Amino acid sequence: MKALALFSGGLDSVLAMKLIIDQGIEVIAINVNTGFGATTSRDEHMKFMCEQIGAKLEILDLRDEYLDEVLFDPKYGYGKNFNPCIDCHGFMFRYTADLLKKYDAAFMISGEVVGQRPMSQRKDAMIQVQKLSEHDDLIVRPLCAKLLAPTKPEREGWINREKLLDISGRSRSRQLQLAKEIGLKDFEPPAGGCLLTEEKFSDRLRDFTKYTTMDKNDIDTLKAGRHLRLPDGAKLIIGRDKDDNEKLKNTTSDKYLRARVLDASGPFCLFDKTATISDKQLATNIIITYARTQKDKLYTVDFTDYQLQGQKFDSKDQLQQYFI
């Protein structure tokens, strides 16, 4: 008997898998990459978590499908920010269910806990998630299964319901106790790092979609640098540090020109290809302001397709109005 687990990398999904593995069932951890996870790769962390409990790991890249099917038109709406959690969970289960045959697995599990999260982990929301998944009788939540109606794997005796748990609410104490009992190292809180739950990132995303349509190559540019919207609508992104500069350099988005001051050291920038003359000049002066430059001196900014000269602003405070 095998099961597929929806695996976020967080503690709750690790514990849920462990409860099932302890019943002699092989578990394959499926991590869905929506594109909006943490800004740094968590692959190594996820591998380490799976190794500790004896689960296999598969990462599913569903960035295109997530943009097409979930992010902009969620049936059950958004949480506090741009997070469509109910639809997102249903989506993850639906695509994970497509792998049941490939792995010859009989059912799915997740680390959800009743009442732990305001949007997706209320009892009624869990039922909505099950409906969206199109496999509602095959989803087991081992950490709170005793508080929910028995599912097919429990009724059929594939797993022993008595060995599942009845955790509810926001307290983490039972999970932390369980982690201690099994000697789990370096674990993270549940669903750590989903950028869609963050206010600032959600503002960037809202702004972005006001001006253009999004594809998966745009996701990484939203995660790095300072983002500015200029008066005629052009977007300017300025790297804040070496890490940002690298990420911006590596973008595969075709919406931007690469920009940098030629005669001074400064950040790597991306600038809208469709900018007006007036936004181009403003961007030039802003990029010069963020470089190691002096006042009252002319500098040249190279925008790949053209070069412009400009001067540093007296103060960065003058630029605050453009920040998203």
Answer whether 96's CB lies under 8 Å from 32's CB: yes
Residue 4 phi/psi, 5-degree rounding, is: -105, 135
Residues 42-81, one symbol each (x = binds ligand SF4 by CB under 6 A, - = not), give ----------------------------------------
Nearest-approach distance from CB 321 to ligand SF4, in angstroms:
31
Q: Which of 139, 145, 196, 224 binds ligand SF4 (CB under 6 A)?
A: 196
All residues at 6 or more sequence positions from 42 whose CB lies less than 8 Å from its CB, including other chains: 9, 193
275 binds ligand SF4 (CB under 6 A): no
Interface pick for ligand SF4 out of 13, 31, 120, 245 (rule CB under 6 A):
120
Check residue 89 for interaction with ligand SF4 (CB under 6 A): yes
Size of site (CB under 6 A) for ligand SF4: 10
| Minimum gap (Å) between residue 84 Cβ and ligand SF4 | 6
CB-nearer residue toward ligand SF4: 110 or 285: 110
By C-beta, is 88 or 132 nearer to ligand SF4?
A: 88
Cβ contacts of 65 within 8 Å, gap of 6 or more: 91, 95
Contact 227, 46 (CB under 8 A): no
Q: Residue length, the chain?
A: 324
Among residues 83 and 245, whose Cβ is nearest to ligand SF4? 83
Contact 50, 56 (CB under 8 A): yes
Instruction: Name every residue whose Cβ is closer than 8 Å to that of residue 183 and which is 6 or more positions away in sequence.
Output: none
Pairing of strands 107-109, 226-229: unpaired
Binding flag, residue 121, ligand SF4 (CB under 6 A): no
How far apart, in Å, do the first and last CA atoms of the chain sit?
Answer: 50
Q: Please answer whether residues 296 and 272 qualify as being in contact, where contact means their C-beta atoms are separated by less than 8 angstroms.
A: no
Q: Which is nearer to ligand SF4, 184 or 191 (CB)?
A: 191
Does 197 bind ligand SF4 (CB under 6 A)? Our answer is yes
Distance CA 206, CA 208 (A): 5
Stretch that binds ligand SF4, among 135-143, 189-197, 249-257, 296-304 (CB under 6 A): 189-197
Which of 159/196 has CB closer to ligand SF4?
196
DSSP string covering 217-274: HHHHHHHSSEEEE-TTS-EEEE--SHHHHHHHHT---SSEEEEEESSS----EEEETT
Nearer to ligand SF4, 82 or 107 (CB): 82
CB-nearer residue toward ligand SF4: 31 or 289:
31
194 is an interface residue for ligand SF4 by CB under 6 A: yes
Residues forming contacts to ligand SF4 in the complex (CB under 6 A) are 83-85, 88-89, 120, 191, 194, 196-197
